[in-house]
Structure 1
Amino acid sequence: MTSYDEASSDADLYTFDYRPIDDPGDDQRFTRYWDVEPLQRGPQPVPGWLVTDRAALETDLGVLKTGKEADVHLLERAVPATGERCVLAAKRYRDDQHRSFRRNAGYTEGRRVRDSRVTRAVNRKSAFGREMAAGQWAHAEWESLVRCLHAGVPVPYPVQIDGTEILMELVAVDGSPAPRLAAVRPDRDLLVDWFDQLRGAMLAMSAAGFVHGDLSPYNVLAAGERLVIIDVPQMVDLIANPNGADFLQRDCTNMCDWFARRGLDVDPQELFGEVIAAAW
């Protein structure tokens, strides 16, 4: 027989606090974090800064960056009742323009699409094919971000993917979006440290069997004293892709050229040899 105190304790465990929530306003929506499949959410452990409350509203704060394949928006995720908030980067691939990605065939060698209907539509560049292509590139970037995170490569934390939209960590400095490496002028000590970080990131990618494929000072963020690598949808298998070594050579040249112009004595061939050796 259950005592009154035990029954009261059990009842307390199942007491729900319902609060009315207003409908989203313009440029707002309820978060879909818990609506997507588990593999469409970021890896564990979830960082403490990320708001995951089901009552969170997401507000589009405007465009941070535009590109040929996708636009990046600032997105605030906030819980009105508690004041919890975070600002994310929302990368949205364009359905009708993503196929303009340069050297697309070289990056996709070794990738396979199982659905022949999708393959034919993509090759014909029909409206359905363009939509599927955008989804494929969004999914490719999502997988690359997760893979980089597991390999210890400094990338934005991937929050979730939903269709052609990826939500990820907004890399910031003092509350503002971090600048691209191409836009900064560091002192020599920081330059040396950044090159060591870059080498470490490239070694980690190579050891895990992949290469960025489009690495340049425009695809690296300078977040204070640390570097963060971005824009990874075209990441390729260093060994399986016949262009893998060429892409790596170009990545090394692009990055070493920037550091050399800032006065650091670096050799792209030496970096290439060190990085490609890590793959074996």
Structure 2
Amino acid sequence: MSSDTRPTGPTSAELDPRFVFDFRPADDPGDGQRFSTWLDVEPLSRGPEPRPDWVVTSQAAVDTDLGVLKTGKEADVFLVERAVPGDPAQRVVMAAKRYRGEEHRSFHRSTAYTEGRRTRNTRDARALAKKSAHGRAVAAGQWAGAEWEALKRFWLAGVPVPYPVQIDGTEILMEFVTHDGEAAPRLAQTRPRGDLLASYFEQLREAMAALARHGVAHGDLSPYNVLAAGDRLVVIDLPQAVDLVANPTGMDFLMRDCHNVCRWFVARGLEVDEHDLFAELLACAL
């Protein structure tokens, strides 16, 4: 007669519930997918609190590329779905702005935007000046970082910008601004009339005033850098935000923003004056 002398583990009744957890192995994501990078980035690389309810922070989430939304000279914007498999409540589509790698990028941002900004690393500063391969890589990181900081700062200040979800290298994940389930059009693509036209101008005036109170100008504001989500406007493309004091041409950029905005509204029949707007913003900045 033989006996099994192998040790037996504790029964389920003997297990301490504090050490019992449900473990389910996850399959590797497929092509065009990755596990969520939310917990992979530093805390300061995640969006400011209080975070909107739609932000998915679960490490079980999977990011899926849905395609290109917009292409540009320095960066492309993709749609990315972040979702927890099997949990419809934890699913969101975001915009992923990805500054291009040095081999596919040609930066056209004028150095006039960056006057007054400091680069602590002297090697990086020399590389930027020489426009070497390393300098172009540094430039991409600087533009991404500048846009990230601007989005965080202005979102907390109540300026209508997309909520910044996270930054990872030269990729910024942010709110995907929609209208009726589709990507919100640029203001330049719309044809508002009457009260809506006046409301749009008032919203832009208030946004520009909020920026001025923080000592900055958008620097490249136009109907092409504003989204129209129904009756709500959202300002986008902020990497070149200009310091009105540190940048010696800051006031020139502010005046140009006023000109671009007012010219569009005047062409559609709204009586506004760029010099009056500039004077109002200047008073906010002082």
**TM-score band (shorter)?**
over 0.9
Match of 2:126 among 120, 126, 150: 120
Matching residue of 2:44: 39
Amino acid at match of 1:48: D
Amino acid at match of 1:59: T
Matching residue of 1:141: 147
- The 2-side partners of 1:209 and 1:180 are apart by 26
Residue by residue over 1:188-225, the C-alpha shift from the partner in whole angstroms, topping out at 9 and shown as x without a partner, is 11111111111110110001111100000000000111
Matching residue of 1:93: 99
Range with bigger deviation, 74-83 or 39-48: 74-83
- Displacement of 1:123 in angstroms is 2.0
- The 2-side partners of 1:212 and 1:99 are apart by 22
- Displacement of 1:17 in angstroms is 2.0
Tell me whether 1:165 sits opposite 2:177 in the alignment. Answer: no
- Displacement of 1:95 in angstroms is 2.6
- The 2-side partners of 1:228 and 1:210 are apart by 17
CA contact (8 A) 1:99 1:133 kept: no
Query: Residue 13 and residue 174 in structure 1: after superposition, are their counterparts in 2 closer, same or farther (change >3 A)?
Result: farther
- Displacement of 1:98 in angstroms is 5.0
Query: Residue 120 and residue 18 in structure 1: after superposition, are their counterparts in 2 closer, same or farther (change >3 A)?
Result: same
Q: CA RMSD in A?
A: 1.5
Identity %: 63
Matching residue of 1:223: 229
- The 1-side partners of 2:32 and 2:53 are apart by 26
- Displacement of 1:124 in angstroms is 2.0
Match of 2:160 among 134, 154, 168: 154
Amino acid at match of 2:108: F
- The 2-side partners of 1:38 and 1:144 are apart by 17
Matching residue of 1:111: 117
Residue by residue over 1:229-257, the C-alpha shift from the partner in whole angstroms, topping out at 9 and shown as x without a partner, is 00000001112211111000000000001
Structure with higher Rg: it is 2
Query: Residue 249 and residue 98 in structure 1: after superposition, are their counterparts in 2 closer, same or farther (change >3 A)?
Result: farther
Tell me whether 1:51 sits opposite 2:75 in the alignment. Answer: no
Q: What SS does structure 2 have at the residue aligned with 1:218?
A: helix
Deviating runs (4+, > 6 A) in structure 1?
none
Match of 1:191 among 187, 197, 211: 197
Amino acid at match of 2:32: D
Q: What SS does structure 1 have at the residue aligned with 2:40?
A: coil
- Displacement of 1:176 in angstroms is 0.9
Residue by residue over 1:124-157, the C-alpha shift from the partner in whole angstroms, topping out at 9 and shown as x without a partner, is 2222221111011100000111111122110000
- The 2-side partners of 1:276 and 1:206 are apart by 7
Amino acid at match of 2:146: A
Matching residue of 2:263: 257
Alignment gaps of 5+ in structure 2: 1-12
- Displacement of 1:100 in angstroms is 2.4
CA contact (8 A) 2:144 2:170 kept: yes
CA contact (8 A) 1:95 1:133 kept: no
Matching residue of 1:61: 66
- The 1-side partners of 2:217 and 2:268 are apart by 24
How many residues end up aligned between the 2 structures?
271
- The 1-side partners of 2:100 and 2:116 are apart by 24
Range with bigger deviation, 266-275 or 144-153: 144-153
Matching residue of 2:82: 77
Alignment gaps of 5+ in structure 1: 1-7
Q: What SS does structure 2 have at the residue aligned with 1:110?
A: coil
Matching residue of 1:178: 184
Q: What SS does structure 2 have at the residue aligned with 1:100?
A: coil
Query: Residue 184 and residue 69 in structure 1: after superposition, are their counterparts in 2 closer, same or farther (change >3 A)?
Result: same
- Displacement of 1:11 in angstroms is 4.9
- The 1-side partners of 2:204 and 2:62 are apart by 37
CA contact (8 A) 2:254 2:278 kept: yes
- The 2-side partners of 1:242 and 1:93 are apart by 27
